[in-house]
Amino acid sequence: MSHAIHANRSQRMLLPPDINDWVGPLDPVRFVAEFVDALDLKALGFRMSEGTDGRPHYAPKLLLSIWLYGWMVRVRSSRNLERALRVQIPFLWLAGLETPDHNTLWRFFSQNKKAFPKLFRKLVRAAVTLELVGFALHALDGTKLASACSTETAFHRKTLLEKLKELEAVIASSMADIESTEKASENEPPTEMPEALKDTVERKKQILEVLAKLDEAGVNHLSGKEPEARMLKTRDGTKLGFNAQIVVDHESDFIVAEDVVQDATDHRQLVPMVEAAAANMGKPADETVADKGYSSGPQMKEAERRHLPVLVPAQEIAGEDGEYAKSRFTYSAEGDFYVCPLGVVLPLTSVASASGGKNAHDIYRCTNATCPEKSACTKDKLGRGIKRFEGEEEMSRQAEKLRSPRNQVLWSLRKEIVEHLFGLIKQVDGFRRFTAWGLEGARAQWSVVCTVVDLRKLLPHFLAGRLRGAQLAAA
């Protein structure tokens, strides 16, 4: 009959334990420690603490290694990191039994927000130097993440205008009552404004001040605590947040560029992100694919001017189908006019400037009032008008480029290259919103997210003995 094993909490060890025995030689925590220990943090812009008389301070490399390993194993908050340093064996080994508290950890992150993007770029360049990243095909995509601020407590123009209308009605009614009272007693001194009305007037003043801030920022929603956040459509609803971008290499599944922007759409991110990847890697990929959200005439024009190889399909225009769709009109660059399917020339008649979120464009209009197909072609009383936006020639060439079977195959790979990483980050890792305030804080956190994703991609090389952390840092 077997006997039960009980905990012997009074047992003593003959020799003191060696903490190096607590983690194996191929434990991921050793990879992170080797990498951070070999980094030149000062060159990367990390704030270097200097010893002074008094209490000793924690070394920046110690604190950075805790943050990186913590996010790598999905322990992200400073309080959870503090707890892990006391109870989890890999953290105990990593910190050498040191236990910096959550305030120390958060202060380090807050003071080094600008350095984390530089650390990410350092990692990418090292992977390129060690030939661990490919240049054949990259994919670009973005995801919307909620900001640290609350959407519910933010200022919303529609709500403010409704409240303003209510207050103005109250003020008008109260002022009318005061005037009628004064007329009824002409010999009496003027009635003072009631305290309740003074409060209403003050509230109106505050609303007008907030509306002025909305006008200044050019937005309809604004957080008083986080004015840089913008209202974005996410899978979890419309929230204040930021637009996080990544460029991913097909061969290695490695994130080669990242950024966080305020834009609610991706229309202006194609060239900046492709150039960011080229800057990180030394040159652009042979092709970079992106979805229709990145389709923009100005961006296509700029990409062509800078000789950036991209594959981006044009966005479909609602209602542009049938016998007299815009695609069936032929543009003459030499004469600067369109020709309709019936052979009628549409000359340039006007130019519309950019306004209300719409891009500037030229308008070419049919002047044939007796056209027998006018009712089938347009309902516009002025005649059929064709809008031509900046970059349409480049968009046409891009559409032609995408017709080749090879490029169709390349573009079809986009989803499998980039979208699964958003699933990993948001679903598996559980990172669905920023917890650092402001655009700079969001950029710092996104850089850490992308850095640890890349470190995980390099782990198989470490486990196979092909890569050491120090080798990566020195590359």
**Whether 389 contacts 396, CB under 8 Å:** no
Cα 302 to chain center, whole Å?
Answer: 21
Please give the Cα distance from 142 to 260 (Å, whole number). 9
Please give the Cα distance from 328 to 341 (Å, whole number). 6
Three-state secondary structure of the chain: CCCCCCCCCCCCCCCCCCHHHCCCCCCHHHHHHHHHHCCCCCCCCCCCCCCCCCCCCCCHHHHHHHHHHHHHCCCCCHHHHHHHHHHCHHHHHHCCCCCCCHHHHHHHHHHCCCHHHHHHHHHHHHHHHCCCCCCCEEEEEEEEEECCCCCCCCEEHHHHHHHHHHHHHHHHHHHHHHHHHHHHCCCCCCCCCCHHHHHHHHHHHHHHHHHHHHHHHCCCEECCCCCCCEEEEECCEEEEEEEEEEEEECCCCCEEEEEEECCCCCCCCHHHHHHHHHHHHCCCCCEEECCHHHCCHHHHHHHHHCCCCEECCCCCCCCCCCCCCHHHCEEECCCCEEECCCCCEEEEEEEECCECCECCEEEEECCCCCCCCHHHHCCCCCCCEEEEECCHHHHHHHHHHCCCHHHHHHHHCHHHHHHHHHHHHHHHCCCCECCCCHHHHHHHHHHHHHHHHHHHHHHHHHHCCCCCHHHHHHC
pLDDT in tens, 159-180: 888 888 888 787 777 777 666 6
Q: Which residue is listed with tokens 């306004």?
A: 355
**Whether 162 contacts 207, CB under 8 Å:** no
Q: What single letter denotes the amino acid at residue 9? A: R
Is 189's pLDDT higher than 70?
no
Among 413, 419, 123, smallest CA distance to 281 is for: 123
> Dihedrals φ, ψ of 329, to 5°?
-95, 140
pLDDT in tens, 436-465: 999 999 999 999 999 999 999 999 999 998
Higher pLDDT, 394 or 186: 394
How do strand 237-249 and strand 137-146 relate by DSSP bridges?
Answer: antiparallel
Model confidence at 355, in pLDDT bands (50, 70, 90)?
low
pLDDT in tens, 53-93: 667 889 999 999 999 999 999 999 999 999 999 999 999 99
Model confidence at 148, in pLDDT bands (50, 70, 90)?
very high
Please give the Cα distance from 67 to 75 (Å, whole number). 9
> Dihedrals φ, ψ of 389, to 5°?
-100, 165
**Whether 362 contacts 351, CB under 8 Å:** yes
Among 87, 70, 124, smallest CA distance to 281 is for: 124
pLDDT at 326: 86
pLDDT at 18: 87
Please give the Cα distance from 87 to 183 (Å, whole number). 79
**Whether 383 contacts 374, CB under 8 Å:** yes
Q: What single letter denotes the amino acid at residue 56? A: P
pLDDT in tens, 312-347: 998 765 446 678 888 889 899 889 999 999 999 999
pLDDT in tens, 290-312: 999 998 889 999 999 999 999 99
Please give the Cα distance from 159 to 150 (Å, whole number). 16
